[in-house]
Chains A and B, each alone.
Chain A
Amino acid sequence: MEKVDENKERAENKENEENKESKQNRETSERNRIVIPIGPQHPSLKEPSSFIITLEGEKVVDAVIGVGYVHRGIEKACESRTYIQNLYLIERVCGICSHTHSTAFCQGIEELAGITIPRRAAYIRVIVAELERLHSHLLWLGVAAHEIGFDTLFMYSWRDREKVLDVLAEICGNRVNYGINTIGGVRRDIDSEMMQDTLKMADYLEGQLKYYLDLVMTDKVLSARLVGIGKLSREDALKFGVVGPVARAAGIMDDIRIIEPYAAYDEIPVNPVTDTHADVFGRTVVRIKEMLESLEIIRYSVKNIPDGDIAVKAPRRIPAGEVISRTEAPRGENIHYIRSNGTDMPDRVRIRAPSQANWQGMRHMLQGQYLADIPITIAAIDPCYSCTDRAIVVNSESGTEIMDWQGLRQYSIEWYKKRGIDVSLVKMPERKFYA
């Protein structure tokens, strides 16, 4: 507790200093400020969002972030659908971490109804959750590599991701939105053939991941693009309440699987992965190491899965009450608040997805960065992929210029090339594993 206060104080002091500094500079700088609205992004992957970025020369002085382009009104719709219908709706809050959302929702309902799911079902939930983490992190790795112009790694990691999707499709029957959870357990059992395939995939992936980790840790060009970018210190991370890999990269052990074990995590050993870099590099390393940890969890659960039923019967009407359910999504802590009123429809459902928490620190991360570092900084919290939308560069002197996300990405790659850092020239070292 004391530590937290101390940290806070330090952070505040720093802020005051910064304020003083900026006041002095304000006079001179106001004249050559440029405001750039970016977006609303077309995110090939995640939520569209818009940024209004104020530049001074090439440095970012402020960033205003607007999200909400895919606000669909799911929470209201939940109130007029039954619990079972809602399960499938909530799974589609996000196509990438669908399993986490449906797990959190099911857990909440099960708690309200007072049912305990069979152990086997809990283990299956864990296996699918970890497979999901693998595919999400691999996806992120590819996206981040793409943003810095390292398309080789992009293609590599997405190819490996297919292996994970194959296993997911085999276990759940679908590549995305698995639909395996149900209130009271899971819908499909896992057989020995599936387990064999899962273990085979784990062995293959382990080799690949170690290879990527090695690459990221040793390559000088990559570290030139990643180290020191998008800093969010431990104090600030606590202040802005960021979660998941972003917090863990700042040295905060914030993992719901350990803090508040759910499903079968109370029996499965989970080693926390943290890092002290507190920048994009740290986030990359944390994610890769987390994947290795996920493989261990998968191996353990496949070996130790108990026999038995996979689901118990759940009532259609859920007794009145309220519940807060938490899970660890690939992007961090996911919170569901559910209130029931005794009917077969919930009274209120509130979903706090992890990205929502991470946006909070974004503004801080962007301040003081070069324009060229914006794409990777934004990508590093894992919110969105690219933007085919136009961004308008408003320059008070030369009028209006048009630029899009792709343009910004290109600009960033060229900017670094001019300084002798060309990621696309990075040679993938010899590797021992090949599909």
Chain B
Amino acid sequence: MQAEQEIVDRLCEEFPFLKGRVHVQRQKRIFTGHLVKEEFEQVIRYLHNNMGFYKANHVVGTDEGENLGFIYLLSNKEGIMLALKEIAPKSDPKINSMTCIYPSLERHERELVDLFGAEVQGLPEGPSYPLPDGWPKGNYPLRKEWKPEYFDKNTMTYNPPDAGNDKGKR
């Protein structure tokens, strides 16, 4: 647990805004709170350049109600995994692509575009992934408000019932 705590201390020292927002969850796992774009980019660059987090394993998209969350999973040589979280409002879901420092993230970030409707700026061009061709625009299946029941697969249209009787989850 010592190595993990050292990382947390060093991060808090470098970035005062991280104080109290980053914690060791258990051995080999560090979680941060949600950071906005500017904060996030400083931290991720620092982690990559100065702290030996050479590998980005994955990006997890999450639905945070009004916002979209992005959890970047980074790991270092000792296998310590740091979950760095970024947040962006659904109304303006713009984030910057991190493929410039972690080329391995390309496919994962592409998924965020398709499944969550994030606008990842600076993502290299390529085929969309993983939704099928002809998927209607503006439908982001992993957002909570999108319900598979209302999706007509034959016509590829999304027909929610009138607002009002759409109550909660099934």
Contact = CB atoms under 8 A, between A and B. Distances in A.
Interface of A: 1, 4-5, 8, 64, 66-68, 71, 73, 75-77, 80, 111, 238-241, 256, 259-260, 322, 324, 326, 333, 335, 337, 339, 348, 350, 352, 356-357, 359-360
Contacts of A352: 57-58, 108
Contact of B129 (A67, A239, A322, A335): A67
A348 B129 contact: no
A281 B19 CA distance: 49
Contacts, number: 83
Contacts of B148: 73, 76-77
A357 B104 contact: yes
Interface string B32-62: 0000000000000000010110111110111
A339 B69 CA distance: 13
Interface stretch (B7-15, B75-83, B87-95, B154-162): B75-83
B28 A260 contact: yes
B170 interface: yes
Contacts of B31: 322
A335 B104 contact: no
Contacts of B104: 239-241, 357, 360
Interface of B: 26, 28-29, 31, 49, 51-52, 54-58, 60-63, 71, 73, 76-79, 81, 83, 102-104, 106-108, 126-127, 129-132, 141-142, 148, 169-170
A326 B29 CA distance: 11
A4 B52 contact: yes
Given A240-B104, A348-B62, A324 B81 contact: yes
Most B CB contacts (10 A, CB to CB) among A4, A256, A359 go to A4
Contacts of A333: 57
A4 B106 CA distance: 20
B44 to A, nearest CB: 15
16 contacts: A1-B52, A4-B52, A64-B127, A68-B132, A76-B142, A77-B148, A241-B55, A241-B57, A241-B102, A241-B104, A326-B81, A333-B57, A335-B73, A337-B58, A339-B62, A350-B60
B129 A68 contact: yes
Nearest to A343: B169
B148 to A, nearest CB: 6
Given A4-B52, A73-B148, A324-B29, A360 B58 contact: no
A130 B141 CA distance: 36
Contacts of A77: 148
A99 B53 CA distance: 29
Nearest to B56: A241
Contacts of B78: 259
Which 10 pairs across A and B sit closest by C-beta, in order of nearness? A241-B104, A68-B130, A1-B52, A259-B79, A71-B130, A66-B127, A352-B58, A4-B54, A350-B60, A337-B60
B141 A73 contact: yes
A350 B61 CA distance: 8
B131 A71 contact: yes
B103 to A, nearest CB: 6
A421 to B, nearest CB: 34
Nearest to A322: B31
